[in-house]
């Protein structure tokens, strides 16, 4: 199973351009990690953020609609016939 992980990591790193690879290596060094560990951690964080965003979107749908603002209500009243 470790060989599969290494292969997937290698594929992820192979898709980076030399400039992107250097940038990620610099960030990994600043964090005190290897480039491979940094990319694994980055992917894990991205998945967690996506799951959190999906969860927030589900709860946002459940909330009731927002009441119209002050000026919206004034304009609506102005459009009504006398």
Q: How many residues does the chain have?
A: 82
| Euclidean distance between CA atoms 27 and 30, whole angstroms | 5
Q: What pTM value is reported for the model? A: 0.55
pLDDT digits (tens, 9 = 90+) for 59-80: 766 656 778 889 888 999 899 8
Q: What is the predicted pLDDT for the residue at 80?
A: 87
pLDDT digits (tens, 9 = 90+) for 18-50: 999 999 999 999 999 999 999 999 999 999 999
- Are the C-beta atoms of residues 27 and 38 closer than 8 Å to each other? yes
Q: What is the predicted pLDDT for the residue at 5?
A: 56
Q: What is the predicted pLDDT for the residue at 58?
A: 78
For residue 15, the enclosing domain spans: 2-79
CA distances from 31 to 10, 66, 70 (A): 20, 42, 49
Q: How many domains does the chain have?
A: 1
């Amino acid at each position: 199973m470790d060989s599969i992980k290494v292969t997937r990591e290698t594929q992820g790193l192979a898709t980076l351009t030399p400039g992107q690879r250097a940038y990620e290596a610099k960030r990994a060094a600043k964090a005190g990690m290897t480039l491979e560990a940094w990319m694994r951690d980055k992917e894990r964080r991205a998945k967690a953020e996506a799951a959190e965003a999906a969860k927030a979107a589900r709860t946002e749908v459940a909330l009731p609609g927002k009441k119209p603002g002050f000026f919206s209500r004034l304009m609506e009243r102005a459009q009504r016939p006398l």
